[in-house]
Amino acid sequence: MTAMATDRPQMRVEEFEQIAAAAPETVTLEFVDGRLGVKAVPDGDHGAIVMWLLRQCMQHLPECDLHVEQGLAVERYRTGRARPDGVLAPVAHFAGQGEWADPDGVLMAVEVTSYDQDTDRRDRIEKPVAYAWTGIPVYLLIDRERGEVTVHSEPEDGRYRTTVTRAYGSELELPGPVGFTLETEILKRYAR
């Protein structure tokens, strides 16, 4: 597993926030593992997957919202700023928090991979570490390149103790506090 990095970040988080605030709406920036990152613009399949998951969460957890691209202050991991594709939290949880919200109380962070060169490092390596250090109970990775879904749970000391991966088409149990089963057959439609 990846340990918390100790090398010097590219910039201070305040500098990142200034750059992110000035960026055009067509650019999504993150500051994870001490590095400035640019997230790829989502394509139609990416958006369809996020909407499918949003409907699943609404059906099984009507007391929660799946916030699309809510910024999170992942402070314990190199004073980072992440913008997951989805953040599951109680209704109105982020009201009044601004662009970079405190992740305390978040139930699940979700990433859907993009077809870009940074996906491996960002979504498969850095994000699980950042979300585990932050204490987010569940990290769901929908991996379009590999045709599989991975759920990480039980965060402890900067890593998730449990990781379960299933191919598209399989059932995948999302552990508590999320606590429902995903039927992933539909994801085959969005595979390349």
* pLDDT tens per residue, range 2-47: 444 445 667 777 777 777 777 776 666 667 667 766 666 667 899 9
- Please tell me the predicted confidence (pLDDT) of residue 3: 43
What is residue 11's DSSP assignment? S
* CATH number belonging to domain 42-190: 3.90.1570.10
What are the phi and psi torsion angles at 102 (to 5°)? -70, 130
As a whole number of angstroms, the distance between CA 66 and CA 70 comes to: 9
Binned at pLDDT 50, 70 and 90, residue 171 comes out as very high
65-106 pLDDT, tens digit per residue, is: 999 989 999 876 556 899 999 999 999 999 999 889 999 999
pTM of the model: 0.81
* Cis, bond preceding 177 (omega within 30 deg of 0): yes
- Helix spans in the chain (H): 13-22, 44-60, 119, 127-134
Residue with tokens 């508590």: 176
